[in-house]
Amino acid sequence: MSTIFSKIINREIPADIVYESENVLAFKDIRPQAPVHILIIPKTEIPKVTDIKGKEHAELLGEMFDAANKIASDLGIAEDGFRLVFNCGNNGGQEVYHLHMHLLGGRKMNWPPG
């Protein structure tokens, strides 16, 4: 089922896009939890982590990590470090069922997470 992120991909609703390639889109989270908070998504609809098939999606996931590294570098947080998060399902705190990687940085992250 399509989510709000499909609407962002299709430019039906606005987003602050920081990176785009043929298969991947990245934009600023509307409710940032850190000075840098970017969502990196595949353009294809994969609802959540448990829908990932390693062999089928390996290249796409690689592209998402490449995008994260490029964005972190472009935004000047690569050297100090950052956090990448995939929330999965109810207990994982997933709100939008279109796979997304959170890129969080610009401050020291806490551990354990809440």
The contact set with ligand 5GP (CB under 6 A) reads 4, 15, 27-31, 39, 87, 93-96
Instruction: Tell the smallest beta-carbon distance from residue 102 to ligand 5GP (Å).
Output: 6
Residue 57 falls in the annotated catalytic set: no
Instruction: Tell the smallest beta-carbon distance from residue 86 to ligand 5GP (Å).
Output: 8
Q: Read out DSSP for 17-59?
A: EEEE-SSEEEEE-SS-SSSEEEEEEESS---SGGG--HHHHHH
Rounded to whole angstroms, the Cα distance separating 34 from 21 reads: 25
Residue 103 burial (C-beta neighbours within 10 Å; 0-12, 13-18, 19+): buried
Catalytic, out of 37, 57, 98, 100: 100
Residue count of the chain, please give it. Answer: 114
Quick one: 39 or 55, whose CB is closer to ligand 5GP?
Answer: 39
What tokens were used for 1?
Answer: 């089922």
Quick one: 55 or 77, whose CB is closer to ligand 5GP?
Answer: 77
Q: What are residue 103's DSSP bridge partners?
A: 38, 84
Quick one: 24 or 39, whose CB is closer to ligand 5GP?
Answer: 39
Provide the annotated active-site residues.
100
